[in-house]
């Protein structure tokens, strides 16, 4: 999943693709590099970012979605927590809603997804909550359980759901590494996992890289590790480098399966 930020203030590439044509060209470039999903966002979710109105968000993302949906075979995702933006994006050609508040910000979001038949990425977040559990996995399981209940009540089918553990949105920075180490425990929920570690602040802190664009090698390392832990989708800025990391991890996975099968025979 390639990140296409149509924003002036995203932490890594803010302002680079604010023009519709530049954003569309970037989407094409990501497809050439190997992306099969394009995630279009019109509002930065970095800490301290200026909020935008629904109209501003829609003015940014809808023309990009329309052009990419018309001219590519890629799946189109829209990064939004607003039900009205989601509804308009789906009408413009989006296939997937990527909700950083896990269906909790807008009470209509689950119904929009259900009625449209679109896919939904439910992301975990610790932001704006007062019911945290101390253990990161226990907190994620509680959060996802509640959001999945909302999805089920709205009629969203299980095969339309993916879960994002919310790297960068946890309570404390030390939980980021623990979440990487224990991410496989989330498979108990029975849904594919989407990973968003790309160029994030905690990656920079671990790798001693203050500049976001210099964090691609460290990001690729997280991609390989979390692929080995069973994650399915990776939301990234640098498609080619992370695809290489995935291929290396997949080779190890395939080799392990071959050994297991040989032993069973």
Contact indicator for 254, 262 with CB cutoff of 8 Å: no
Task: Report the length, in residues, of the chain.
Answer: 265
What is the rounded CA–CA span in Å between residue 79 and residue 12?
Answer: 16
Structural domains in the chain, sorted by start: 2-264 (3.20.20.20)
Contact indicator for 148, 105 with CB cutoff of 8 Å: no
Write the pLDDT tens digit of every residue in 118-169: 999 999 999 989 999 999 999 999 999 999 999 999 999 999 999 999 999 9
Residue 122 Cα distances to 81, 99, 119, 142, 164, angstroms: 10, 6, 10, 13, 6
pTM of the model: 0.93
Write the pLDDT tens digit of every residue in 65-83: 999 999 999 999 999 999 9
The pLDDT value recorded for residue 47 is 67
What is the rounded CA–CA span in Å between residue 94 and residue 69?
Answer: 7
Write the pLDDT tens digit of every residue in 4-44: 999 875 445 445 666 889 999 999 999 999 999 999 999 98
H or E, element range at 197: none
Active site residues: 200, 235
What is the rounded CA–CA span in Å between residue 241 and residue 238?
Answer: 6
């Amino acid at each position: 999943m390639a990140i296409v930020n149509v924003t002036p203030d995203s932490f890594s590439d803010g302002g680079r693709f604010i023009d519709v044509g530049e954003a569309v060209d970037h989407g094409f470039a990501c497809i050439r590099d190997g992306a099969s999903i394009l995630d279009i966002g019109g509002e930065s979710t970095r800490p301290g970012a200026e909020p935008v109105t629904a109209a501003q968000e829609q003015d940014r993302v809808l023309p990009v979605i329309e052009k990419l949906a018309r001219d590519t075979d890629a799946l189109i995702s829209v990064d939004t927590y607003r039900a009205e933006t989601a509804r308009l994006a789906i009408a413009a050609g989006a296939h997937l809603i990527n909700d950083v508040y896990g269906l909790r910000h807008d009470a209509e979001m689950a119904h929009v997804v259900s009625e449209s038949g679109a896919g939904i990425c439910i992301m975990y977040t610790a932001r704006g909550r007062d019911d945290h559990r101390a253990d990161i996995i226990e907190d994620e399981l509680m959060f996802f359980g509640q959001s999945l209940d909302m999805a089920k009540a709205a009629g969203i089918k299980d095969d339309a759901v993916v879960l994002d553990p919310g790297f960068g949105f946890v309570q404390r920075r030390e939980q980021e590494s623990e979440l990487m180490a224990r991410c496989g425990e989330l498979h108990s929920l029975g849904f594919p996992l989407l990973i968003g570690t790309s160029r994030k602040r905690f990656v920079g802190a671990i790798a001693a890289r203050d500049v976001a664009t210099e964090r691609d090698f460290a990001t690729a390392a997280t991609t390989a590790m979390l692929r080995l832990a069973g994650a399915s989708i990776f939301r990234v800025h640098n498609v080619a480098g992370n695809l290489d990391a995935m291929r290396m991890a997949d080779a190890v996975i395939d080799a392990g399966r071959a050994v297991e099968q040989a032993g069973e025979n």
